[in-house]
């Protein structure tokens, strides 16, 4: 009776004979192809798949099975050109299941860590690691981290960051802004340059202060421009200096030619004319640079 029942079950449920209803272990052999952008996975060509060697219950190659090529890998989520993808490396052990108990429909249900060296991880931590020193995740306290010995590239339409405190440390920093940039600071902004500091502008440069502005240098302070205005909104110190020079020249004219009713012209007229000539020359140099 038992033999008859067994024959009936084996006839109607052949997957029981081959134990295809149970999860099986296998070892990744290779990946024959990787998908290109927009490739459509189907039963004939799954694209995201691996070739595996089936293992027996002792973890040894099961020679009753040939190499199974292009066994689809399971995904935690998937959509059109979306999802999370990562190939297991050659030699990794995986869990194989057979859809509908059919030997023609094997799939990789999961990946086992057997025989793989593991990264350090604490209970309560979530970690994703590419290789040693290249990982990201959350520690057991919920702090996020991201480490890499390579480059981090980001590309987005808009980037929005919000934090109570921001600390950044670089060996060297270079930033290119193709359009306008505005910094709005609610408190005090301090810039410390231990070396030289240079500010270059291709257009107008304005420094505005609602209160006092102090510029102090322990060395030489130079201000150079084709035209210069120093003073208030209505008065230019260089303009006043030019007017003072004009008055000195006029005074020199009077002194060099004036006479006294009883003694005649002064003996120092040549010296006064020398002062007049020098002042005229200085004024000629000053007038072009005053605004």
pLDDT tens track for 116-172: 999 999 999 999 999 999 999 999 999 999 999 999 999 999 999 999 999 999 999
Between CA 60 and CA 47 the distance in angstroms is 27
Q: Residue 251: which pLDDT band, with cuts at 50, 70 and 90? A: confident
Q: What pLDDT sits at residue 168? A: 95
Highest mean pLDDT among 219-223, 246-250, 265-269: 219-223
Residue 8 clears pLDDT 70, i.e. is over it: no
- pLDDT value of position 16: 60
What's the average model confidence in pLDDT over 86-108? Answer: 92
Using pLDDT thresholds of 50, 70 and 90, give the confidence band for residue 186: very high
2-112 topology per CATH: OB fold (Dihydrolipoamide Acetyltransferase, E2P) (2.40.50)
d(CA 47, CA 45): 6
User: What's residue 263's pLDDT?
Assistant: 64
What confidence category does residue 87 fall into, taking pLDDT thresholds of 50, 70 and 90? very high
Residue 224: CA atoms inside 13 Å, Cβ hemisphere, count? Answer: 3
Return the pLDDT at 258: 64
Instruction: Specify the pLDDT at position 11.
Output: 63
| Spans of all domains in the chain | 2-112, 237-289
For range 98-112, the mean pLDDT: 91
pLDDT computed for residue 281 by the predictor? 85
Q: Where residue 266 falls among pLDDT bands split at 50, 70, 90?
A: low
Element (H, E) at 145: strand 144-147
Specify the length of the chain in residues.
291
* pTM (whole model) above 0.95: no
């Amino acid at each position: 009776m038992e033999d008859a029942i067994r024959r009936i079950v084996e006839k109607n449920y052949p997957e029981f004979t081959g134990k295809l209803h149970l999860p099986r272990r296998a070892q990744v052999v290779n990946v024959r192809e990787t998908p290109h952008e927009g490739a459509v996975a189907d039963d004939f060509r799954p694209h995201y798949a691996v070739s595996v060697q089936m293992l027996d219950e002792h973890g040894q190659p099961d020679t009753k099975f040939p190499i199974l090529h292009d066994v689809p890998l399971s995904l935690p989520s998937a959509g059109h050109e979306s999802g999370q993808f990562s190939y297991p490396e050659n030699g990794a052990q995986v869990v194989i299941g057979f859809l509908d108990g059919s030997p023609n429909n094997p799939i990789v249900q999961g990946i086992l860590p057997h025989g793989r060296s593991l990264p350090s991880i604490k209970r309560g931590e979530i970690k994703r690691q590419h290789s040693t020193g290249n990982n990201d995740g959350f520690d057991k306290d919920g702090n996020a981290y991201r480490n890499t010995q390579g480059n981090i590239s980001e590309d987005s339409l808009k980037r929005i960051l919000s934090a109570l405190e921001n600390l950044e440390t670089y060996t060297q920093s270079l930033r290119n802004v193709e359009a306008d940039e505005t910094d709005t600071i609610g408190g005090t902004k301090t810039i410390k340059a231990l070396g030289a500091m240079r500010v270059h502008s291709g257009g107008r440069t304005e420094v505005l202060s609602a209160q006092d502005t102090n510029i102090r240098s322990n060395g030489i302070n130079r201000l150079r421009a084709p035209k210069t205005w120093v003073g208030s909104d209505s008065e230019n110190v260089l303009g006043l200096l030019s007017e003072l020079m004009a008055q000195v020249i006029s005074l020199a004219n009077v002194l060099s030619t004036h006479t006294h009713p009883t003694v005649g012209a002064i003996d120092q007229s040549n010296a006064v004319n020398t002062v007049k000539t020098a002042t005229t020359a200085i004024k000629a140099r000053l007038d072009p640079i005053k605004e």
